[in-house]
Amino acid sequence: MAKTQALGRGLGELLGEIEEAYDNEISPSKDLLEIPLNNIKVNPFQPRKHFDEKALVELSESIKRHGLLQPIVVVEEMDSYVLVAGERRFRASKMAKTKTIKAVIVSASSEEMRELALIENIQREELNAMELASSYEELIKVHSITQEELSGLIHKSRSSITNTLRLLQLSPKAQKAIIDKTISAGHAKVMVNLPNKDQNILVDSIIGQKLSVREVEKMVKQFKSSLPTDNTAKSIKKPTLDMSTLKDVLDEHLINYDIKDNKISFSFSNEEEIATFSKFFS
């Protein structure tokens, strides 16, 4: 119960309020206002760092023809507003040179603004794979929740969350390739357990040779088969040490021994042999 409360009863209510406004997005609603675009500041907690310029232009043209059907979400602040959710719509509206934008006004703390931005982007799939992974990680850390609890909060499967979080283990080069869309998240997920050096080789191969995910899977298997496992490590022969001097001494004193793989073991027939052997350490 404590963890559920940690997610914030207020946050749940805010999400419900926003969803209700979205449900009524085409019909007039008392919750919707037209706000001057110039009075809106972007959300400082926006997890999304990359916006597809082509997609923004397409959305902008749609807004010019049909208007904005889905409102943005803002928090009132003195004589202006802070954008909580809907930055893509906000940017496209500015490109369309509209003067005002349809908005839902909510009351939210800084922490709730961060959460709303994260969850809204996650649920609407507006983040690239790396931004999504970072958002998952942030929500888990901020609220000290499990992946299972996060799954219930954002309505994503546990396995999807786990696989996305694993992308944070990728090399910096692989992560940048995902952000730049030169490789897909599918490519990345099959190489995540490889050393960074091998990941970087694969990234160059995917980009240069236009490899499919299936082809990358085959290459990953080849990389893994070349890595030494515990068994193969044991099978690697160690250099044989020269024990000839030690053997001469032991033979001279008639001490029974056996040498194998640079290891030596002794056997004794009586206490006299033990006493003789002990003299080496006195």
For strand 100-106 and strand 72-77, is the pairing parallel, antiparallel, or unpaired?
parallel
Active-site residue, from 87, 120, 126, 131: 87
Q: Which helix (H) or strand (E) holds 122?
A: helix 110-123
Q: Which residue stretches of 155-226 are H helix? A: 158-165, 172-179, 185-191, 196-209, 213-226
CA–CA dist 258, 238 (Å, integer): 18
111 belongs to the catalytic site: no
DSSP secondary structure letters along 32-70: EEEEEGGGEE--TT-------HHHHHHHHHHHHHH---S
Q: Is 73 exposed, middle or buried (0-12, 13-18, 19+ CB in 10 A)?
A: buried
Q: For the chain, give percent helix, strand, coil, nearest 5.
A: 60, 15, 30
Active site residues: 87
